Structure 1
Amino acid sequence: MERKLERKSNELVRKGYHAQKFTCPERTGFFPDLEECDLYYICSKGDYEQRLCPDGLVFDDSDPNKERCDIPANIDCGDRTVLQEPKPSPGCPRANGYYRHTDPLACDKFFNCVDGVPHELSCPPGLIYDDIASTCAWITDTNRKDCKKPRKDALEDGFVCPDDAIMGPDGRKLPHPTYPHPDDCQKFYICRNGVMPQKGSCSGGKVYNVDLLTCDDPANVPGW
């Protein structure tokens, strides 16, 4: 009997019945639940309406004037540790968010799940997907022990030459392809004979142009 009551109590909590205890801190605004990180309330003239973020996202309580849900990596839930029941699908532990690839060897790939549909994305050359930050990072900056150790031909920051060939403007394979640095627009990588990585740097105030695969004036580089 006690177990049945406990299960019933947990079910009521998941359905949001603990919202009956909620009191609007202010007459108007968006406010978090005290226990559940993806549950929040819309207060208007002292009355409230309960809302739930899409599965996989949590409520951003940094500004009571904004209604916003985001991935957990961007939000500090603090003591709000409870989450709604997950709605998993193939490739997606939850319906929304960023998750590691289902192939354990594909450390440089990950899924962006949107409404339960996984969209495969790739990290820039030399980076792998980091679970905690939900973004790409150098292998030396992550705690992923499942990924391979840096290869002998890798640079100290973890960059290795990709296996895919880079084609030049004439449609031919480039013998010494270049790749952008993920953090510094003035730096890039050179793969000698396509396999040996070296560091490169633009001089004279120029930056690396991803479209032209060479250094260029900043005025010609989109987003600079």
Structure 2
Amino acid sequence: MVNLKMLWFVFLLFSATINVDTQAQTFTCPERTGFFPDLEECDLYYICSKGNYEQRLCPDGLVFDDSDPNKERCDIPANIDCGDRTILQEPKPSPGCPRANGYYRHTDPLACDKFFNCVDGVPHELSCPPGLIYNDLASTCAWVTDANRKDCQKPKKDALDDGFICPDEAVAGPDGRKLPHPTYPHPQDCQKFYICRNGIMPQKGSCSAGKVYNEEIFTCDDPANVPGW
């Protein structure tokens, strides 16, 4: 009597083998030598040598950089445009690391200014510069207004002993670009001024002897060049 279960198992095994062989045969080296991406998987690529190819897979969390066929390079997804190559390998998560490699937000939802650099499944905690928070999409630190993270509130600002707190408004320099470390005049002493590191950390500053703060150019200057002096 024919064992139907055994026949069905053999059929499935044979079908799977046919599918694997068919998928493997769909790739053709564009050139005889080089490194080339898979058409569907962003972390899968091929090493071609004399027209023959070998299949390779980037470490989990990284994707293949197909910008130069002469270079074998995997990078974080934020740096690579995968286009239609949207399929990725199954993740290999660990505590703090959604995938084995890459940059990820901190597991503490209140630690917006911290993130993890995962290397082979081991998370390494890093901190953003003062005033910045971690940006998931760019895998880097960014201003609160640019990070697009509704879960993060604007960080509390420090105050100096005289009560000065860095203003919320961005300051444009003489060229119209936002100053990363804006300065402000002291209300009583023209030789003194304030520096806001990353727009949030206040610090006292003072001009050298014979100079005064010029708020039009945001730096110390000769008194003759400062209006109202």
Answer yes or no: same fold by TM over 0.5. Answer: yes
Do the aligned partners of residues 147 and 26 (structure 1) sit closer, same or farther apart at CA in structure 2, a change above 3 Å counting? Answer: same
Bigger Rg, structure 1 or 2: 2
- How far the C-alpha of 1:202 sits from its partner, in A, is 5.8
Matched, 1:156 2:169: yes
The count of aligned residue pairs is 167
Identity across the alignment (%) = 78
How has the CA–CA distance of structure 1 residues 203 and 134 changed in structure 2, closer, same or farther, with 3 Å as cutoff? farther
- 2:47 is equivalent to residue 39 of structure 1: no
Q: CA RMSD in A?
A: 3.3
Q: What code does the residue aligned with 2:76 have? A: I
Q: 1:112 to 1:178 in 2, by over 3 A?
A: farther
The one of 75, 79, 100 aligned to 2:84? 79
18-27 vs 48-57, which moves further:
18-27
Q: 1:19-66, CA deviations, whole angstroms, 9 ceiling, x for partnerless residues?
A: 331000000000000000000000000000000000000000000000
Structure 2 match to 1:67: 72
TM-score normalised by length of structure 1? 0.65
The equivalent of 1:172 in structure 2 is none
Which of 91, 107, 111 lines up with 1:106 in the alignment?
Answer: 111
Task: With the length of structure 2 as denominator, give the TM-score of the two structures.
Answer: 0.64
- Uncovered stretches (5+) of structure 1, i.e. residues with no partner: 158-176, 183-187, 193-198, 205-224
1:190 aligns with 2:195: no
Q: For 1:64, what is the secondary structure of its paired residue?
A: coil
1:56 counterpart = 2:61: yes
CA 1:23–1:115: 2 relative to 1, 3 Å: same
Taking the TM superposition and a 5 Å limit, the aligned residue runs for 1:1-224 are: 18-149=23-154, 151=156, 155-157=168-170, 180-181=197-198, 190-191=202-203
